[in-house]
Amino acid sequence: MKFTIFIGQATNQTRYELDADPSITVLEALEALRGGKAPEILYRHSCHHGSCGTCGALVNGTPRLICVTKLGDLGTREIHLKPLEKMERLGGLAVWPGPFFAKLPDTDYLRPSTREAGDEAFDPDQAVLRLEDCIECGLCFSACPVEGEFLGPAALLAVAVEREKHPDREKEMLDLAGGPTGVELCEKRYECSKVCPQGLAPGRKIAELRKLLG
Amino acid sequence: MEAPYRALNALPLPLAECKVRKQGFSVCIIGGGGTGAALAYDLAQRGLDVTLLEKGELTSGTTGRHHGQLHCGARYAWADRNIARECYEESLTLSRIASGCIEYSGGFFVALSEAEAALQDRFRNCCFEAGIPATALSVETLLSIEPRISAKVRAAVRVPDGSFDAYRLAMMFFAAARNLGARVLPWQEVVGFDISAGRMKAVLYRNLLTGREERIEADFVVGATGAWTGKLGMLAGLLVPVSPAPGTMLAVQGRLVDHVISRLRPPSDGDILVPQRGLTIIGTTERRAENPDWIHPEPEDAELLKAAGEEFIPGFSALPVRAVWAAARPLSNMAGYAARGDAGGRSLSRDFSVLDHENEGISGFASIVGGKATVLRAMGEQAADLVCAKLGSNVACRTGDYALPSWRRFFDGGRP
């Protein structure tokens, strides 16, 4: 199937034609182009299975992880790719995510594992420590309509999770959430929850923090 | 009961307490994967002036695509006790210094047939000889801990495996390297070398962000380019016997297990299940390829892996697939190099080596060949030992003593 891929901003856009199986991902399409006729394409990628959080980009206007977005699922053969918003742009789709990481608090990235519902045989006393679900991809940060000093959805999600996990950090976390860069700047548009590739609903966590803070 | 492996180890020191004495030598590392990351940190900690060049994003080659099994070495104990022992030591070290991105929960080798169950004593003996604690547990106990495992299970052995976030583990080493002053530069593609009178003088590279060609002089240059080692060698006129060996992995939605599960049999395709957040990964397959820049799964790989997953966990093959991907492992054919005695006496018992290209007529240049993710720190140490010996510096390795900073700290202080 023939696809046309546009990379970059409207004013500085490069167009590529690719004949590809619609079951391949946008990342695989870029890899095929870069390994062949377009070695100059710049994009971030690492794990190729939606765990590292590096490959976010705007795909036809929506922030997505390109490693788990299939060409055939986009409903069009014209694919417009742009770098994520609010990051430092390097060229092509590549960004420096420093502005996003600067807002993330230092929190514990491990938590006790809980199995999915229906796993009755699971004994919570045997819970192992597993990695947190947030992969810090910045899609929510990019999608959030609030500009400026706002900590943003991923950081406030981390604050909420840390507070639940570590009661000794409750005051510190609530101070962050209730501070001038915290939940009061949220406009409750829930764009964050719509784009989260892990289904983590940061918007709801922000609402919960707001309720706690009274 | 989970074995509290972490409690076996003393706490590492904070990196802020690490004092570095400048040695006055400069080193250029090529390749921004896990090996380059560990080497950059090691050399920066020993006081060398480090610049690392990576042609794409950091960890975008092979490192990030790893399934994340922290190998205690049991998998390798069948064939080579020394490699297994080193894996175990390194898994313990990583669990101390990089605990923030590791699920150090242990793993199980499961026998899914009578024939596999008959291998149990031999397997445990191999582990014992390598110094790896491997204890038998009853099928009932296994199924109480991992209830989704197939009822065909006939025997199970607990080992101190774990799993890690492959991207974040490497980024913790990069964060430490940057913290100690190393320049870690992605989007810089090496295009040639300046070699004169048998000596490496400078590395020529193109800044892919600006399009400009640049040059960096260094007292020593180390290639840490994994499956790209053959390609890099050619730029220097060397024939380094490394080629890409792609392996495919498949992730399904759902955290089906909380521990790494391996087949109780010598290593083969589709014999490892690794939990990764809300996913379960099955790996791997192995093929050969020519071009490491275009590695992709073959259609039949996904079916093979789904069928292998189904053997571990009934229903696996019907679960929604999150991703199927391939990574280019470096496959080395070192037969011709075996007698050279590169990088110390232990190298022949390892699955990686550091090639000193002075043996081919280029001094000041070495390549790290082979290896695996779990031993990245040891690979960095061995390469750093060679670099320091060549430069006449005798500072010892300390990378096992300090806790690595969070990967988040890599992004502090603006773009490198």
Question: What pLDDT sits at residue B348?
Answer: 41
Among partner residues A42, A119, A128, which is closest to B259 by beta-carbon distance? Answer: A128
Residue A142 reports pLDDT greater than 50: yes
- The residue of B69, B171, B322, B404 whose CB has the most chain A CBs within 10 angstroms, and thus the best one to mutate to test that interface, is B322
Among partner residues A25, A46, A104, which is closest to B408 by beta-carbon distance? Answer: A104
The DSSP H or E segment spanning B43 is helix B34-45
- The residue of B187, B207, B404 whose CB has the most chain A CBs within 10 angstroms, and thus the best one to mutate to test that interface, is B187
Sign of CA dihedral A48, A50, A51, A53: positive
How many CA within 13 A on the CB side of residue B23? Answer: 21
Count Cβ atoms below 10 Å from residue A50 Cβ, excluding itself. Answer: 25
The verdict on a CB contact (< 8 Å) between A49 and B104 is no
Residue B403 reports pLDDT greater than 50: yes
CATH of A2-96, one of 3.30.565.10, 3.10.20.30, 3.30.300.30, 3.30.420.40: 3.10.20.30
Q: What is the pTM of this model?
A: 0.95
Q: How far is CA B354 from CA A150, A173, B42, B93, B380, in A?
A: 48, 47, 15, 21, 10
Which residues 105-164 of chain A have a CB within 8 Å of chain B? 106, 108-110, 113, 115-116, 119, 121-123, 126-133, 135-136
The residue assigned the tokens 């199970």 is B156
CA-nearest of B140, B143, B132, B145 to B70 is: B132
Q: How far is it, in rounded angstroms, from Cα B283 to Cα B262?
A: 10
Question: What pLDDT sits at residue B329?
Answer: 87
Count Cβ atoms below 10 Å from residue B76 Cβ, excluding itself. Answer: 24
Averaged confidence pLDDT in chain A: 94
CA distance A213 to chain B (A): 28
Give the residue on B whose Cα is nearest the Cα of A110: B100
Give the residue on A whose Cα is nearest the Cα of B62: A46
Contact indicator for B91, B374 with CB cutoff of 8 Å: yes
Residue A35 reports pLDDT greater than 80: yes
Residues B28-49 have pLDDT tens digits of: 999 999 999 999 999 999 999 9
Among partner residues A43, A115, A133, which is closest to B277 by beta-carbon distance? Answer: A133
Question: What pLDDT sits at residue A117?
Answer: 45
CA angle in degrees (0–180, nearest 5) for B37-A128-B161:
50
The CATH 1.10.1060.10 portion of chain A extends over 98-213
Indicate the SS3 state at residue B155.
Answer: strand
Question: What pLDDT sits at residue B352?
Answer: 85
Question: What pLDDT sits at residue A124?
Answer: 60
Question: What pLDDT sits at residue B341?
Answer: 46
Q: How far is it, in rounded angstroms, from Cα B238 to Cα B367?
A: 11
Q: How far is it, in rounded angstroms, from Cα B232 to Cα B196?
A: 18
Extract the tokens encoding B42: 């090691």
User: Which residues in A lie closer than 8 A to residue B143 (C-beta atoms)?
Assistant: 121
- Identity of residue A148: G
Averaged confidence pLDDT in chain B: 92
The CATH 3.10.20.30 portion of chain A extends over 2-96
Q: Mutual orientation of helices B120-129 and B81-97 as an angle, nearest 10°?
A: 70
Question: What pLDDT sits at residue B334?
Answer: 63
Question: What pLDDT sits at residue B339?
Answer: 43
When comparing pLDDT for A96 and B286, which is higher? A96
Mean pLDDT, range A74-78, rounded to an integer: 97
Residue B20 reports pLDDT greater than 50: yes
CA angle in degrees (0–180, nearest 5) for B130-B135-B136:
130
In this structure, chain B runs to a length of 416
User: Which residues in B lie closer than 8 A to residue A36 (C-beta atoms)?
Assistant: 294
ipTM above 0.90, yes or no: yes
User: Which residues in A lie closer than 8 A to residue B144 (C-beta atoms)?
Assistant: 121, 123
Q: Which CATH superfamily is domain A98-213 in?
A: Alpha-helical ferredoxin (1.10.1060.10)
Q: Which residues of B218-248 are buried (b: 16+ CB within 10 A; e: fewer)?
A: bbbbbbbbbbbbbbbbebbebebbbbbbbbb
The verdict on a CB contact (< 8 Å) between B277 and A49 is no
Residues B58-113 have pLDDT tens digits of: 999 999 999 999 999 999 999 899 999 999 999 999 999 999 999 999 999 999 99
